[in-house]
């Protein structure tokens, strides 16, 4: 039985927000990157692909190593 899209979106969003929290407090790039990539991977399993595309775009816009 597949997960409902709402739950996948919630999980991906929570993982993304955790990545941003780590990024903004200046954690080593590896940990926030892992969480961001996990969020994108989770969003991939949503039905429409919109959230995945949004997260990929936001990921590219982050300035890794600048904090």
pLDDT in tens, 30-62: 999 999 999 999 999 987 899 999 999 999 998
pLDDT value at 67 more than 80 = no
Cα angle 13, 47, 1; round to 5: 95
The model's pTM is 0.88
E strand spans, the chain: none
Under a CB-based contact definition with an 8 Å cutoff, are residues 31 and 67 in contact? no
**3-class SS at 33?**
helix
From the list 45, 43, 36, 2, the residue with the least C-alpha distance to 16 is: 36
Burial of 40 (0-12, 13-18, 19+ CB in 10 A): buried
pLDDT in tens, 7-27: 999 999 999 999 999 999 987
pLDDT at site 20? 94
pLDDT at site 35? 97
């Amino acid at each position: 039985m597949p997960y409902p899209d709402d739950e996948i979106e919630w999980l991906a969003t929570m993982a993304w927000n955790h990545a941003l929290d780590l990024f903004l407090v200046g954690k080593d790039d590896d940990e926030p990157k892992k969480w961001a990539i996990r969020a994108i991977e989770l969003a991939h399993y949503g039905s429409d692909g919109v959230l995945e595309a949004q997260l990929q775009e936001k990921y590219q816009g982050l300035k890794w190593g600048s904090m």
